[in-house]
Amino acid sequence: MNALEVTALTSGYGTSTVLRNVSLTVPAGEVVAVMGRNGAGKTTLLRSLIGLLPHEGSVVLNGTEVSELKGHQISQRGMVWVPQDDSVFPGLTVKEHLSIAARDEDSGATSAIEMFPILQERLTQQAQTLSGGEKKMLSIAQALISRPSLILMDEPTEGIAPVVVSELMLAIEAAANKAAVLLVEQNIDVAVALSTHGYVLEHGSFVEEGAMQELHESGRLEERLAI
């Protein structure tokens, strides 16, 4: 069964169309990567899927059409989002973030600390004062403790120190054991290491699709993403 099936998705901002007729599939329990240069429409794709942008086309989550639903209704059905920027609520503590995400009152902090022990020391700290890597950890922990069926990750390793990237990659691998992941990534090494299938987005349309290893070995990924 597919966790996500997107058919003929068209989306944008106001009168400006960014994505045109995009279709993709994320099988349950797999990591699928979407790659593309800056401005290709990667974040627009994720914002459309999670219900934050109006769009045309079909979005089916675990067999249910969700394209007419609002963001909170889609997230209640198991799709969660790890944003690239603005991933925390200013003014809320780390513990409060985990409390919001947890499906039951007690499970939040404990599960998150098992994943990222550093969060134990940060529980009472305002989340906006965390480092970039810690914010990503918090965001991934939030996503996982909400027991999702599909996680949308928007460039989770972008701007993060190399030593933290490996820790985040382990966390994403762990996440993939619990839910399907749609990973938006510019870093080819990270995408190849984590995902089984890949799409390349250019000017709002997919121009490459296939098994990630095959895309990588053919050199088409490097060619498409070269600056």
What is the closest distance, in whole angstroms, from the C-beta atom of residue 132 to another protein in the complex?
16
Look up residue 69 and give its two tokens.
């639903």
Question: Measured between alpha carbons, how far is 30 from 131 in angstroms, rounded to an integer?
Answer: 29
CB closer to another protein out of 99 and 149:
99
3-class state of residue 88 by DSSP:
coil
CB 21 within 8 A of CB 201: no
Which one of 13, 64, 65, 72 is in contact with another protein (CB under 8 A)?
A: 72
Which one of 142, 168, 176, 180 is in contact with another protein (CB under 8 A)?
A: 142
DSSP state of 128: G
Look up residue 59 and give its two tokens.
């979005």
**Would you count residue 43 as binding another protein (CB under 8 A)?**
no
**Would you count residue 99 as binding another protein (CB under 8 A)?**
yes
What is the closest distance, in whole angstroms, from the C-beta atom of residue 135 to another protein in the complex?
12
**Would you count residue 108 as binding another protein (CB under 8 A)?**
no
Strand order in the sheet with 64-65: 16-27, 2-13, 55-61, 64-65
Q: Footprint of another protein on this chain (CB under 8 A)?
A: 50-52, 70-72, 75-76, 80-81, 83, 86-92, 96, 99-101, 142, 146
